[in-house]
Structure 1
Amino acid sequence: MNRLAGVIFDMDGLIFDTEMIYYEATQIVADELKIPYDKALYLRFLGVSDEEVWEGYHRLFDETFGTEYVQQFIEQSYRKTLEMFEAGQASLKPGVRELLRALDDAGLPRVVASSNQREVIDRLLAVSNLSHEFMEIISFEDVVRAKPDPEIFEVAQQRLQLPKERLVILEDSQNGILAAYAAGIPVIMVPDLLLPDEELKQKTVAVLDSLVEVPSFLQRFYN
């Protein structure tokens, strides 16, 4: 990595401990509707856009339950997730506020680049009083192709107006790492639910246990 000038944050599983809430909300609704769903199925779609997840559910369940019933499952799961977010159940991951303060002290701008919908991103940031911490938010609505396509990170780099080699991406998922690598932007992985294999590790600058470790790691690149 070169001298650091800006930071791109993923959101789900990185800033917020949301992945289990997505799973729990969907599992509650699936149980109510008698749809065969479990954590293994949830993990199959980890790190992709909502649109791709929903398409996957239709592929898996339409033949058995019908398109309208599966759409009901999707919509109820989405509403249940938002209810849980509004109730403040998506806790901040350890080290978030400390990292943001360190980046403030270093004068480094940052953006959020998430495959989630803008409505969800805005709600989560507002509930945790983090909306002011990011100069831009790039969401699912701002791109044509979701991660692992590099488009979302390329848009983030354009918004920051900084060279790729002077940026770093913070990511937790395989698709996020692949997208960062394809974009040619250095990436640090902070794993959430799934650990990287050796091949994925080779595509990162580092794999750190939590955001708590990030400030000291980055310090060498902006001093």
Structure 2
Amino acid sequence: MTKLQGMIFDMDGLLFDTEWLYYQATQVVADEMGIPYSKDLYLAYVGVSDEEVWAAYHTRFDSEFGQDTVDRFIQSAFDRTVTMFRQGTAELKPGVHEILRFLDEQQIPRVLASSNQRAVIDTLLEAADLTAEFPTIVCFDDVTKAKPDPEIFEKAQQILDVPKESLVILEDSANGIHAAHRAGISVIMIPDLIAPTTIIEEKVLTILPSLTEVPEFLTKAYTV
């Protein structure tokens, strides 16, 4: 059996129940401004960097509403979301403390690899009193290409400095799964808003209902 020597965590939708909050905040602002936004549109960009999502909004809405209005829409939705995060509205997903405790007990290092901005990551971790749990973070600010490009996971692997075959990534989104697969690192999917497709199922080590089940699976699949 391969020895597990490191863990890479996604954040939104995996550690924090943030995806629904992002959608709610954006929908409220869109409704106030008369912009035809929808849940389906939001779901189309789950797991994509903010920069790419915002560019897509401009492509979709600028011709009807103008660039300045779309800029205000994006900024207002962002500000509303961050305010919710600072207030501690983003709940932890089930099993977060269990998997962190397991890794501590086994002395397995971890890196947080999120397509989000560092300021937002810090806000969420601080609100949940998890800052000390993730001393190493790779984020939007550190890469030139977002998921599904493998760059963020390759950087995380370089930081951990362990062989790819001894690493496991925890992800919830399709773009994250594709990025892990392209990086050549095994990935466990914990689905959030979007159910896995057949293509995704072929690219993951396993699919588990929550982080709570991860320690048991790792104990059976790896030497820890």
What runs of 5+ residues in structure 1 fail to find an aligned partner? none
Distance 1:3 1:196 in 2: 27
Match of 1:194 in 2: 194
The secondary structure found in structure 1 opposite 2:112 is strand
1:11 aligns with 2:11: yes
Distance 2:112 2:79 in 1: 23
**Which deviates the most, 148-157 or 191-200?**
191-200
Match of 2:71 in 1: 71
The Cα shift of 1:197 comes to 1.2
Which string of whole-angstrom CA distances, capped at 9 and with x for unpartnered residues, describes residues 116-171 of structure 1? Answer: 00000011011111111123100001000000000000000011111111000000
- Which amino acid in 1 is paired with 2:98? E
The secondary structure found in structure 2 opposite 1:222 is coil
Match of 1:222 in 2: 223
Distance 1:74 1:160 in 2: 35
1:123 aligns with 2:107: no
The secondary structure found in structure 2 opposite 1:194 is coil
Instruction: Assess if the C-alpha contact under 8 Å between 1:109 and 1:135 holds in 2.
Output: no
Distance 1:14 1:167 in 2: 17
Distance 2:169 2:201 in 1: 14
Superposition RMSD on alpha carbons, in Å?
0.8
The secondary structure found in structure 1 opposite 2:141 is helix
Identity of aligned residues (%): 58
Instruction: Assess if the C-alpha contact under 8 Å between 1:171 and 1:187 holds in 2.
Output: yes
Match of 2:147 in 1: 147
Distance 2:70 2:167 in 1: 41
Taking the TM superposition and a 5 Å limit, the aligned residue runs for 1:43-192 are 43-192=43-192
The secondary structure found in structure 1 opposite 2:175 is helix
- Which amino acid in 2 is paired with 1:196? P
Number of equivalent positions: 223
Instruction: Assess if the C-alpha contact under 8 Å between 1:5 and 1:222 holds in 2.
Output: no
What TM-score do you get using the length of structure 1 for normalisation?
0.98
Distance 1:123 1:177 in 2: 25
Distance 1:169 1:47 in 2: 14
Runs of at least 4 residues of structure 1 off by over 3 A? none
- Which amino acid in 2 is paired with 1:19? E
What TM-score do you get using the length of structure 2 for normalisation?
0.98
Taking the TM superposition and a 5 Å limit, the aligned residue runs for 1:202-221 are 202-220=202-220, 221=222
What runs of 5+ residues in structure 2 fail to find an aligned partner? none
The Cα shift of 1:222 comes to 3.1
